[in-house]
Homo-oligomer: A and B are copies of this chain.
Amino acid sequence: MASPEQAAPASFTAPDPGFEARCRDSFSRQPAMHLIGASIAALRPGFCEVRLPHRLEVTQQHGFVHGGVLGMIADSAAGYAAYSLFPADSTVLTVEYKLNLMAPADVDELRARGQVTRSGRTLTVVAMDVIGIKAGREVHCATGIATLICIQGRPDTGR
């Protein structure tokens, strides 16, 4: 999370005024997000929050949400945080991500947040955090970093 010693994050402007519809439309075409029950809870230039209610289907052997599922929603939040700043005629691919699991996801709901740290023409770096909400209290379940690449001139609609 934030250090008091660190400057406030740069404020980002989306070059594509239609960024929100473009991101939400892309998310809606991800069957894997439907499968686990994830949805976009917030979207702004350089920021995306993905929400996942607790469901038995996404748990591991201890009854907590599976660490890989935390990775799925963190990767997705990071991807749309980056994609919000991309030009209209482009798509986004994840180059790599790293996630530290810090507390068991023994929660009512998860919120994965992606905040762009550095927006480049080719590569974008995103800070990822997964917050669990349990009886109204927040638990910092995971933190990570993702690197994404902008593929220009290729629409997001797939094959």
Binding site for B on A (CB under 8 A): 1-10, 26-27, 29-36, 42, 47, 49, 56-63, 65-69, 71-76, 91, 93-104, 113, 115, 117-118, 120, 122-123, 125, 127, 129, 138, 140, 143-145, 147, 149, 156-159
Q: How far is the CA of A101 from the CA of B10 in the complex (A)?
A: 17
Q: Is the interface of A mostly helix, strand, loop or mixed?
A: mixed
CB contact between A158 and one of B9, B33, B61, B99 (< 8 Å): that residue: B61
Q: How many copies does the complex hold?
A: 4
**Given contacts A3-B2, A61-B26, is CB(A95)–CB(B123) below 8 Å?**
yes
Q: Which residue of B lies closest to A138 (CB)?
A: B7
5 of the cross-chain contacts (CB-CB < 8 Å) are A62-B159, A71-B97, A96-B147, A118-B143, A123-B149
Q: How far is the CA of A62 from the CA of B35 in the complex (A)?
A: 16
CB pair A32–B57 under 8 Å, yes or no, is: yes
CB pair B127–A143 under 8 Å, yes or no, is: yes
Smallest beta-carbon distance A35→chain B, Å: 5
CB pair A71–B75 under 8 Å, yes or no, is: yes
Q: Which residue of B lies closest to A58 (CB)?
A: B32
CB pair A60–B115 under 8 Å, yes or no, is: no
**Contact residues in B for A5 (Cβ distance below 8 Å):** 42, 47, 49, 113, 115
